[in-house]
Amino acid sequence: MLKRLGFLGCVLTTLAAGISVAHAHGEKALEPFIRMRTIQWYDVSWSNPTVEVNDAVTVTGRFHVAEDWPIGVPKPEAAYLNISVPGPVMIRTERYLNGQPWTNSVALRPGADYDFKVVLKARVPGRYHIHPFFNLKDAGPVMGPGRWIEIGGDAAAFSNPVKTLGGEVIDMESYGLATGVMWHGLWLLVGLAWLLWWISRPLFFPRYKMLEAGREAELVTPLDRRIAKVILVAVPVVVLGANAMAQNAYPNTIPLQAALDHIDPLEPVVNTGAVQVKILRAEYRVPGRSMAMTAQIFNGTGHPIRIGEFATAGLRFINAVAVVPSQDETDHLTAAAGLHLDNDAPIQPGERRTVMISATDAIWETEKLDGLIRDADSRLGGLLFFYDDAGQRYITSSSVAVIPRFD
């Protein structure tokens, strides 16, 4: 026996040594065409990457709901914005869409733009990777770009005070804990007692033999039936009685909300008509991990413009033209020199030009977006960012079928 236990311990130790900590939240699991052509995130930022317990972290940004919504994905008639964190290490205290506070799901409009703001409160010390994400009804989560957040301090110092409708201030961390433990303990004892009652007598094989012998009537005794009747009456009485007591003690309550909010989108931000882009062809070169696009661009503004960024599925391919916040310079989803043009001269007002654009970096592979060429819907979707000499930014949304190349 000791040898067997020792062998089992060695096996478990070996397995544990090969286990690495998982930091991702499934953002790479969804098909590339869904990540590229549903919610297109941009300008996502975090207020502070280093905080203490009880401090606030504010996540802000914008997203564009793609016009070329995949035919195989249900329309975003019910979507819920949330923050993906590894467990209850933070709590969400505020959430806004286009400046309006909201608590429910929302209907999104394809082709529209929205801005969001989510305020979090640090709860458990550690280093965590957090993402904004949308849960789309019948489609699943679409993750936005993520960032590491460092939380310091003492977890025991966390508090979450709220004021009730009656004016009482309570701490949500401990409020009702004793009551919850009591009810869980009660039903656990009832379940264990019922289980022990049955396993205290002979089980499978003796009962099978009794069935074979035609003595099934003896399997359930009169005492078994009396106990079952008591439980059948006692459980509903306890539940309904406790419910009546709770309603009497707390007459003013707000139920969980289940409505569908309707929030108007922003004034047009993407595809306003000032800059028009048509992607004529897109090829993904597998060996070079590069997306090559042939784009026909018309400058309808009054200023010369230059291409500075291509963004898709939370990835950013930029060049020296783009304005990049300092906190994103080392972001693993940003290819700081990944955008290349065959002609980077400014496009003059009224000029129509065909430009070869290459978005090149290993993140196509590491983020599993190169799987697009194996999807049943091999279409690329993303945002192109243009900048003029006055610092104005223009954003266009485009999509096109992708042709794989292996040379």
pLDDT band at 27 (very low <50, low <70, confident <90, very high): low
Cα→Cα distances 18→7, 15, 21, 71, 127, Å:
17, 5, 10, 41, 22
**pLDDT of 205:** 80
Cβ neighbour number for residue 8 with a 10 Å cutoff = 10
Q: What gap in Å lies between CA 92 and CA 146, rounded to an integer?
A: 16
Q: What gap in Å lies between CA 293 and CA 357, rounded to an integer?
A: 5
Cα→Cα distances 140→5, 42, 104, 132, 136, Å:
44, 20, 17, 14, 5
Considering the domain delimited by 275-405, tell me its CATH architecture. Sandwich (2.60)
pTM as predicted: 0.81
Q: Is the pLDDT of residue 392 over 70?
A: yes
**pLDDT of 218:** 78
Q: What gap in Å lies between CA 234 and CA 296, rounded to an integer?
A: 75
Q: Given this structure, which CATH class describes domain 23-165? A: mainly beta
Q: Is the pLDDT of residue 17 over 80?
A: no
Q: What gap in Å lies between CA 180 and CA 122, rounded to an integer?
A: 24
Residue 252 phi/psi, 5-degree rounding, is -105, 105
pLDDT band at 365 (very low <50, low <70, confident <90, very high): very high
Cα→Cα distances 41→234, 309, 336, 392, Å:
54, 13, 17, 19
Task: Tell me the pLDDT of the chain averaged across its residues.
Answer: 87
pLDDT band at 190 (very low <50, low <70, confident <90, very high): very high
Query: Could you tell me the residue ranges of all domains in the chain?
Result: 23-165, 177-249, 275-405
pLDDT band at 1 (very low <50, low <70, confident <90, very high): very low
Residue given tokens 């290490």 in the structure block: 89
Q: What gap in Å lies between CA 328 and CA 335, rounded to an integer?
A: 10
Q: Is the pLDDT of residue 8 over 50?
A: no
Identify the weakest region by mean pLDDT among 1-15, 110-124, 262-276, 382-396. 1-15
Q: Any idea how long the chain is?
A: 407
In the chain, what percentage of residues exceed pLDDT 70? 91
CA atoms 182, 186, 191, 195: torsion sign: positive
Q: Is the pLDDT of residue 22 over 70?
A: no
**CATH code of domain 177-249:** 1.10.287.710
The string of DSSP codes covering 169-182 is EEETTTTTHHHHHH
Q: Is the pLDDT of residue 327 over 60?
A: no
**pLDDT of 348:** 95
**Residue type (1 letter), 334:** T
Residue given tokens 């784009």 in the structure block: 295
**pLDDT of 80:** 94
What 8-state DSSP symbol labels residue 188? H
Please state the rounded mean pLDDT for residues 102-107. 91
pLDDT band at 167 (very low <50, low <70, confident <90, very high): confident
Residue given tokens 């949330």 in the structure block: 82
**β-strand pairing of 315-318 with 334-335:** parallel
